[in-house]
């Protein structure tokens, strides 16, 4: 079936500005890029109200937690004064009660590392198991308001799961392009369960993006990848939620995984905007951690001082961040510079160990999330994070997103022998024991297990 093509700008949208040339333009309604130079667009924040009004917002946001309205049950729309304003479809917002995720105190990790405090903001506790839901509620609400019938994305797994769920909730169709054999089965299963047209392509994530970009020129699909600035607007709300949970006090350091780099960009955008409004007294240092096998931003930061990014093949078991040509790298560099953060890479052994150490706190996460703790330990060891300082980890995905990794780790199969000595992991592995079906066998196992 041949689909009609629409290239008309979207009506009733907030103004957007190019991150490179600064050109202000209307919402293009298709592939979100600058009409002049082709770079990414971002929404211009509306003019702030009076200082007195802004200072009343925290109490207003807190009071909404007692409401039963759909927009107040959402941990994104509850902070709607920070979101762009646009006319909604008659059914209103598209929400699955995203946000309002837990902030965990991890005192044992803090003591072991010799810092004042370690917290974990667990975005894997969102409805589809990842931080993507924060942005997807706004992007799919926008798609519905524009009358879109199809939403589409290229994905390493989490975006597709989130998009498919929110599209199903809105009654829209969804198209998923994923690299064949390169995403965790748990994430793929979600997209299938939510009814997406799922296409496994014989390419990597960046190849999927290229095909999606060409498809937009031929078919009326609304793209919800992180180039969509409405996604970023939803994800920036994480900053407000963290501050609320911290009684409006900022940690010294925040570490966040680096894949396509929209999440780090959104977090920084949110914090800087809250500081400009007078709601954040201090801006934490936001550092981005990548896997060694997928670390183009680290190369950009180290070798070209953030001025140039060279795409590279990406290979890591932390598949959520297996991206070699991140779309939002310029935004991420801006956050690193604005907050005084660092950019570093960790290897597969360090990721596996960090994930297991987080797990021993009773807090599961997917491998990509664990790069934050691996990176924090390196920065603590180097002295960049100092003993009296506090550290917050952004855990981006639920532990069940990649159950194969967990099983492989405890069986001794992950990471592989090419990653080096496995000695540091020995006490963290807990493979199942095959025993006779007798009380004596279980009692003997209990006795030999020792104390945890």
For range 273-284, the mean pLDDT: 96
Tokens of 68: 């039963």
At the second CATH level, the architecture of 103-129+235-428 is 3-Layer(aba) Sandwich (3.40)
Tokens of 164: 């498919």
For residues 286 and 268, the answer to whether their CB atoms sit within 8 Å is yes
Sheet of 221-223: strand order equals 197-201, 173-179, 150-154, 221-223
Residue pLDDT, tens place only, 388-413? 999 999 999 999 999 999 999 999 99
CB-side exposure of 160: number of CA atoms within 13 Å? 31
SS3 290: strand
Q: Report whether pLDDT(11) > 90.
A: no
pLDDT the model gives residue 429: 93
Cα distance between residue 181 and residue 162, in whole Å: 19
Which residue ranges make up each domain of the chain? 103-129+235-428
The total of other beta-carbon atoms located within 10 Å of residue 424's CB is 13
Cα distance between residue 195 and residue 190, in whole Å: 9
Beta bridge partners of 184: none
Prediction pTM value: 0.93
pLDDT the model gives residue 343: 98
Question: Where does the pLDDT of residue 9 fall: very low under 50, low under 70, confident under 90, or very high at 90 and above?
Answer: very low
Phi and psi at residue 348, in whole multiples of 5°?
Answer: -65, -35
């Amino acid at each position: 079936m041949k689909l009609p093509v629409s290239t008309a700008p979207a009506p009733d949208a907030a103004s957007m500005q190019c991150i490179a040339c600064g050109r202000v333009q209307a919402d293009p309604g298709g592939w979100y890029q600058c009409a002049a130079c082709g770079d990414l667009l971002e929404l211009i924040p509306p003019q702030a109200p009076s200082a007195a009004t802004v200072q009343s917002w925290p109490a207003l946001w807190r009071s909404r937690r007692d409401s039963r309205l759909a927009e107040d049950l959402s941990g994104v729309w509850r902070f709607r004064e920070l979101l762009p304003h646009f006319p909604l479809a008659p059914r209103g917002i598209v929400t699955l009660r995203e946000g309002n995720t837990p902030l965990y105190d991890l005192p044992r990790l803090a003591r072991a590392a010799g810092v004042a405090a370690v917290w974990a903001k667990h975005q894997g506790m969102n409805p589809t198991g990842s931080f993507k839901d924060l942005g997807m509620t706004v992007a799919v609400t926008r798609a519905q308001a524009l009358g879109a019938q199809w939403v589409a994305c290229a994905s390493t797994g989490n975006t597709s799961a989130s998009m498919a769920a929110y599209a199903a909730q809105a009654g829209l169709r969804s198209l998923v392009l994923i690299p064949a054999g390169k995403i965790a089965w748990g994430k793929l299963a979600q997209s299938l369960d939510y009814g997406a047209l799922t296409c496994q392509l014989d390419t990597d994530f960046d190849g999927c993006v290229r095909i999606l970009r060409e498809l937009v020129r031929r078919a009326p699909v609304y793209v919800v990848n992180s180039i969509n600035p409405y996604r970023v607007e939803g994800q920036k709300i994480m900053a407000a939620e963290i501050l609320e949970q911290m009684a409006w006090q900022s940690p010294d350091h925040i570490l966040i995984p680096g894949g396509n780099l929209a999440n780090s960009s959104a977090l920084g955008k949110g914090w800087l905007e809250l500081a400009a409004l007078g709601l954040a007294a201090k801006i934490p240092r936001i550092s981005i951690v990548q896997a060694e096998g997928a670390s183009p931003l680290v190369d950009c930061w180290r070798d070209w001082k953030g001025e140039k990014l060279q795409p590279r093949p990406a290979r890591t078991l932390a598949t959520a961040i297996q991206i070699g040509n991140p779309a939002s790298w310029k935004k991420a560099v801006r956050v690193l510079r604005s907050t005084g953060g660092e950019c570093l890479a960790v290897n597969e052994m360090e990721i596996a160990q960090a994930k297991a150490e987080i797990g021993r706190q009773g807090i599961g996460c997917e491998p990509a999330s664990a790069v934050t703790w691996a990176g924090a330990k390196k920065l603590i060891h180097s002295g960049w994070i100092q003993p009296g300082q506090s550290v917050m980890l952004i855990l981006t995905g639920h532990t069940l997103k990649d159950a194969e990794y967990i099983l492989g780790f405890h069986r001794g199969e992950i990471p592989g022998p090419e990653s080096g000595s496995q000695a540091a992991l020995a006490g963290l592995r807990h493979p199942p024991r095959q025993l006779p079906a007798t009380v004596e066998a279980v009692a003997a196992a209990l006795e030999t297990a020792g104390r945890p």
